[in-house]
Amino acid sequence: MIIGRYAALITAGGRLSPELAAVCGTTVKALVPLGDSRFIDRVVFALRDSGAVSAIAIVGPVSELQAAGIAADVWADEKMTGPENIQQGIVALREAGYLIGEERLLLCATDAIFLGAGTVIDLLAVAQTQPEADIVFPIVRREVYEQQFPGSPNVYAPLADGAFTGSSVQVVRPSAIERCLPYIEKAFAARKSQWEMAKLLGWNFTWRFITRTLTVDAAVAKVSAVTGLNCHAPIFPSARIAADVDTLADYEYAMKLTRDS
């Protein structure tokens, strides 16, 4: 049972690569068609259908999204980076009165295309068992993901206790994100470079990752220590929480799965 309702923030500022945009007919990731809907429609529906969401804020190219008929309770214009967009959405939710104190919110990527209301409810139930956590970031085992999405081109992080993929939806405490925004900006900028990540997290951490001696618990402890946040990374049973679209292969797989379902 979910106690209370959560504000949700959908980050919809992502743009497609030229290759993917040519196939999808749009440069805005949120508006990519999939079956009889679009990426963001699916996320909004899952959140609304869960019955656990008090308001939905969308941050992105507002005029373009509104012109496409997307509906939200709160809007925020996009900024230059992903972390800035999160901050924009938090500010907009506070100004609209949907965030008042230290309550947490749902942070959703616009391409969480197979999310589903049940998965939202399950995540919030897990979060309620960790009331002190500043961020609840579910991870999914490779074997679980591949069982639920066979043949998927998804990629995984190899750790000592298995290979994992990260969630497209998290539960976060806004004030914690605000406190750590400078660090989050650096991590966002460094996310595709082992050298830059090593400078942030230390060479010992990076070496353990490269040699696959890094455990989930050690990774969570390191991020918590560096950021000062109370981080929780539950191993989640539903791969729906991690399914997203980053490449043409991802999109072609999602299209096939949608056609076959």
* Domain at 68, CATH number: 3.90.550.10
Give the 3-state secondary structure percentages of the chain, helix then strand then coil, rounded to 5: 45, 20, 35
Nearest residue to 135 (alpha-carbon basis) of 93, 97, 186, 169: 169
Asked whether residue 24 is assigned to any structural domain, the reply reads yes
HSE-up (13 A, CA, CB side) for residue 40: 28
pLDDT of residue 124: 96
So what's the pLDDT on residue 261? 76
Which residues 6+ apart lie within 8 Å of 65 measured at CB?
12, 28, 30, 31, 40, 58
Please give the pLDDT value at position 188.
64
Q: Which residues fall within 8 angstroms of residue 129, CB to CB, at 6 or more apart? A: none
> Long-range contacts for 200-204 (Cβ within 8 Å, ≥24 apart)?
200/226, 201/226
> Quick one: pLDDT at residue 29?
96
| Residue 81 belongs to domain spanning | 6-260
Q: Give the pLDDT confidence score for residue 97 in this predicted structure.
A: 95
Three-state DSSP at 69 gives coil
Count of alpha carbons within 13 angstroms of residue 161, beta-carbon side: 9
pLDDT single digits (tens) 3-40: 569 999 999 998 998 989 999 999 999 999 999 999 99
Query: How far is it, in rounded angstroms, from Cα 4 to Cα 234?
Result: 21
In this predicted structure, what is the pLDDT of residue 192? 55
For CA atoms 220, 222, 224, 227, give the dihedral sign.
Answer: negative
Look at the chain and report how many structural domains it folds into: 1
Does residue 87 form part of some domain?
A: yes
Q: Flag residues of the chain having pLDDT under 50.
A: none
What is the per-residue pLDDT across 93-110, written as a single tens digit (0 to 9) for each? 999 999 988 899 999 999
pLDDT score, position 190 = 61
